[in-house]
Amino acid sequence: MDFDQADGINQAIRRLSLRHRARTAALLAPLGLHPGQEALLLELDRTGPMIQAKLSDALGVEPPSVTLMTRKLEAAGHVRRAPSPEDRRASVVELTDSGRALADQVKALWCDLAEETVSGMAAEAVADLPGILNTLTGNVDPKRVTA
């Protein structure tokens, strides 16, 4: 691959990432959320209660980030933390009724954002997009073993 092609790919991914995050922030603000918090809510909605360490792995973020997000969401009444029955050093995080209601709002917002993002694309391309993006993500995953 030559530099011009590489630059075009890398710049497009960078612009998409920046603009998607900015658009996400604008849509989440009226709900009182910041980017990243919606992913935590949706993960708990999908999986149920989870210890913070596993939540960190599931979200692909560092444990201190999950701790900070959890504290803020707990202060707002959307999640609750309790010591894990298996390991008192670990905290189990779960959605409250308020958090479940907020997760439902985030799901609707997420659908709108996805539709906005893929507007004008052919249905076949949209159907292929998650697989393509997941491949790209896997290719740059720092945990990926390279030979």
Residue 59, classified by CB atoms within 10 Å of its CB into exposed (0-12), middle (13-18) or buried (19+), is middle
Per-residue pLDDT reduced to its tens digit, 117-131: 999 999 999 999 999
Print the domain residue range for 17: 3-120
Please report, rounded to a whole number, the percentage of residues in the chain having pLDDT higher than 90: 84
Domain for residue 138, yes or no? no
CATH of the domain at 28: 1.10.10.10
How many residues comprise the chain? 147
Q: Specify the 3-state DSSP secondary structure of 94.
A: strand
Q: How far apart are CA 16 and CA 52, in angstroms?
A: 29
Who has greater pLDDT, 23 or 138? 23
Total domain count for the chain?
A: 1
Domain for residue 96, yes or no? yes
